Amino acid sequence: MASQDIELHRIDETDEEEPFLSIPKYSEIKLPSISAGVNDELLDHSLPPRGKLLRFTRWTVFGVYRRLFMTVFIFNAYHAHKIITMKRKSKYSPLLVDLSTAAAANMLAAILIRQEYVLNTLFRLCWLVPHSTPLRIRRSLAKIYEYGGFHSSTAICSVLYFSLLSAILAREWVTYRIVDPLIITCSLAVMIILWTMVIVAYPAIRARRHNAFEMLHRFGGWAVLAIFWPELWLFTRALGHQAGPVSPGAVLHKLPAFWLLILSCFHVALPWMRLRRIPIRPERLGVGVHAIRLHLKEKIKNCVVYRIADSPLTEWHAFACIPEPDGNGGSLIVSVSLTHTCYIYLFCPLNRQCV
């Protein structure tokens, strides 16, 4: 796609207040009068008591994010139980193939749910739901932004599947059923990277070291995909020596994980193929308002997410786009309470911005 130079206009720093900032204080606002009968009726209905434990359980433990996480995790746990307890003619080869397939499938799912075209499709499908649909269903579909629970759960399940696969390979190597130490070396390197990513992604650690999390998540993920290729070849060679050249997984192109890994690498590289520069015009929303609005000139559809970055190699940030009523252009609202990349961009008009 053709590149265009970024046109950034310096934000006016005058002290003039915007009209909406001159609203009186909350205590000075007079609410519209309500009839005495209606007011008394409202006062007679007290809210049900809610303890801290009940609120914590309902809105924290069983929030949409965690419910989605647990649904995917339970499904994978059931599938893992079937893989491990399945009766097989060969004790090792089909088990290792199934574990590698499950690990690769969950990794692909974790990558796909973070892609803009997948998210835009999901958002648009929810937006197309007619207003005649029951409110309960529409309210649930409006929680589509909690898709992070699916990403986290599939990523964790992929790490657990690969950990189990690596443990079996290590046991086979100790018992001399696998003699090649390179596959153990690759598995150990991948395990270290994956579990480091999982630990750093813990919310408390991620909040304190967000930039480190972003860098590790990106470059660590690329390193894992790069190491997977030689490990997959060593894996097929080990299965060929262990169970014969006609055993499941002994041929690389017949291994399901091989094709799943190709799809994963393709979808990781696809955003870079679609990377481009576009002209934007920043607009200050008001004095003391810690947000800025970025106007785009290109046509934007409803329910579209854009990822923007000052340095695409390090980190991107996704924002929902607001299309203009006439269909020509749109805008993004960005808070300055983000990491240093967006913060520098917001207050340095000479920077270049990639979308």
Please give the residue that has the higher pLDDT: either 340 or 44: 44
Angle, CA 186 vertex, CA 238 and CA 85 arms, to 5°? 55
Quick one: CA dihedral 176, 180, 186, 189, positive or negative? positive
Q: Indicate the average pLDDT of the chain.
A: 79
> Of 296 and 351, which is predicted with more confidence?
296
Name the least confident of 29-33, 176-180, 204-208, 270-274.
Answer: 29-33
Residues of the chain with pLDDT > 70, as a percent, come to 75
pLDDT digits (tens, 9 = 90+) for 60-76: 788 899 999 999 999 99
> Is pLDDT at 22 greater than 50 in this prediction?
no
Residues 6+ apart with CB under 8 A from 275: 312, 354, 355
Q: Could you give phi then psi for residue 252, rounded to 5 degrees?
A: -60, -45
Q: 215-224, 245-254, 309-318 — which one is most confidently predicted on average?
A: 215-224
Residues in a beta bridge with 331: 295, 322
Stretch among 25-29, 41-45, 191-195 having the lowest mean pLDDT: 25-29
- State both tokens at 21: 């900032």
Distance, in Å, from the CA atom of 215 to the CA atom of 30, rounded to the nearest integer, reads 50
User: From the CB of residue 188, how many other CB atoms can be counted at a distance below 10 Å?
Assistant: 12
In angstroms, the CA 250 to CA 248 distance is: 6
Residue 179 CA from chain centroid, whole number: 39
Residue 214 clears pLDDT 50, i.e. is over it: yes
Residue 131 pLDDT exceeds 70: yes
Query: Distance between CA 64 and CA 146 in Å, rounded?
Result: 7
Burial label for 145, CB within 10 Å (0-12, 13-18, 19+), is: middle
Burial grade of 174 (CB within 10 A; 0-12, 13-18, 19 or more): exposed
Paired tokens of 191: 């395990």
Q: How many CB atoms lie within 10 A of CB 276?
A: 12
Tokens standing for 153?
């759960």
* Residues 124, 183: Cα–Cα separation, whole Å: 44
* Residue range 77-128, pLDDT digits in tens: 999 999 988 887 655 567 888 999 999 999 999 999 999 889 889 988 998 9
Confidence (pTM) = 0.78
